[in-house]
A and B are shown apart, each in its own frame.
Chain A
């Protein structure tokens, strides 16, 4: 397996949607290729850091204010 082939499957590797046979080939490639291993690791971390960190705050008071407006508008639209 080449680095280009690995890269083309990167999303499938991350999303765990690869066949067992391909998975074994990828494991072999990763043991030999430090660069691809880093790309895989840091891409996974990138996703996790965005999943776990809310970058746009949505405070309760804002939520309540907007919620009230939405429900009022829906009532009127009835």
Chain B
């Protein structure tokens, strides 16, 4: 573990994809090939008239749907409305769910469409698509190579950190933001995210890379700056503050020794790539 972070109470156990050798999805543990996903049985019960089964599905996914809607609409009231409308629509159209995809993926697709419709309403009928604002080259190539402090989040209180994370992700183009949320926050596979968004797998991959790099670049500004301020405040004249020395002239090389800064997120003895790849961790 390389961070002490505020636990996200929406999920009982947090395993970053790159630390969990068997990671596939935090939302729906993948059943074996011949195993039926538990949602399928619940859907069947709903179709047979059991509303309590739908109650279970709503409870299971309401937080995720709310999060997705909030990320797309960037408005709390709209997100609440989207969540309600998406669950109602899914209930009304349950006969159209063929079971070829996971129920959750199907549900996300409805929520994404409802979110885009909500945005359209807010913009008085102007077309809104998931492809909006993606024609940007910003952040597609890393520019800032300064390393972060070992635990940058500790330099901020919870509300400050929340604001930073919110502001940073809100600055991403919508088409990147939603891909990042589905893949990296919700834990959908690339294929599931593509299906939920009606995009091709290569499009999701391309957007995910750019979303990750843009977020990284933007967060570096905060975490580097704060780390630097703290370092100045301590102002012990150590004479070994990192100087710009990389090709881009703005940061220390990561593999140079730093005072009281352990090599981050690198399991010792395992090389820079961390743990051996899990057999089923890939989603390519």
Given contacts A48-B16, A49-B5, contact A42 B147 (CB under 8 A): yes
Q: Which 4 A-B pairs have the closest CB atoms?
A: A34-B253, A17-B282, A52-B5, A16-B277
Q: Is A46's CB within 8 Å of the partner chain B?
A: yes
Given contacts A46-B219, A48-B16, contact A74 B6 (CB under 8 A): no
- Distance of B256 from chain A, by nearest CB (Å): 7
Q: Are A53 and B264 in contact (CB under 8 A)?
A: no
- Distance of B119 from chain A, by nearest CB (Å): 17
Q: Are B7 and A11 in contact (CB under 8 A)?
A: no
- Distance of A63 from chain B, by nearest CB (Å): 6
Measured in the bound complex, the distance between the Cα atoms of B219 and A55 in whole Å is 15
Q: Which residues of the partner chain B approach A26 to less than 8 Å between Cβ atoms?
A: 272-273
Q: Are A71 and B55 in contact (CB under 8 A)?
A: yes
Given contacts A39-B145, A49-B219, A66-B80, contact A14 B256 (CB under 8 A): no
Q: In the complex, which of the residues B18, B59, B63, B87 contacts A14, with contact meaning CB atoms closer than 8 Å? A: B18
Residues of B within 8 A of A (CB): 2-3, 5-10, 14, 16-18, 21, 23, 51, 54-55, 58-59, 62-63, 66-67, 70-71, 76, 79-80, 83-84, 87-88, 91-92, 141-142, 145-148, 152-153, 161-162, 165-166, 169, 180, 184-185, 205, 208-209, 212-213, 215-216, 219-220, 246-248, 251-256, 264-266, 271-273, 275, 277-278, 281-284
Given contacts A15-B282, A17-B283, contact A67 B272 (CB under 8 A): no
Measured in the bound complex, the distance between the Cα atoms of B147 and A30 in whole Å is 14
Q: Are A50 and B273 in contact (CB under 8 A)?
A: no
Given contacts A15-B281, A16-B277, A35-B253, contact A69 B147 (CB under 8 A): no
Given contacts A12-B284, A58-B63, contact A41 B147 (CB under 8 A): yes
* Chain A residues touching B, range: 35 or more
Q: Which residues of the partner chain B approach A23 to less than 8 Å between Cβ atoms?
A: 273, 277
Q: Are B272 and A15 in contact (CB under 8 A)?
A: no
Residues of A within 8 A of B (CB): 7, 10-18, 20, 23, 26-27, 30-31, 34-35, 37-56, 58, 62-63, 66-67, 69-71, 73-75, 77-78
Please give me the residue from chain A that is nearest to B278 by CB atom: A16
Given contacts A35-B145, A67-B58, contact A43 B212 (CB under 8 A): yes
Measured in the bound complex, the distance between the Cα atoms of B212 and A7 in whole Å is 12
Given contacts A49-B153, A51-B184, contact A56 B205 (CB under 8 A): no
Measured in the bound complex, the distance between the Cα atoms of B23 and A16 in whole Å is 10
Q: Are A47 and B88 in contact (CB under 8 A)?
A: no
Interface of A, helix, strand, loop or mixed by DSSP: helix
Measured in the bound complex, the distance between the Cα atoms of B79 and A62 in whole Å is 12
Would you mind naming 22 contact pairs between A and B with Cβ atoms under 8 Å apart? Answer: A11-B212, A17-B277, A18-B277, A26-B273, A34-B145, A35-B254, A38-B147, A41-B147, A41-B264, A41-B265, A42-B216, A42-B219, A47-B184, A47-B212, A62-B80, A66-B66, A66-B84, A69-B84, A70-B87, A71-B58, A74-B54, A75-B51
Q: Are B84 and A70 in contact (CB under 8 A)?
A: yes
Q: Which residues of the partner chain B approach A11 to less than 8 Å between Cβ atoms?
A: 205, 208-209, 212
Q: Are A58 and B255 in contact (CB under 8 A)?
A: no
Q: Which residues of the partner chain A approach B220 to less than 8 Å between Cβ atoms?
A: 42
Q: Are B273 and A74 in contact (CB under 8 A)?
A: no
- Distance of B203 from chain A, by nearest CB (Å): 13
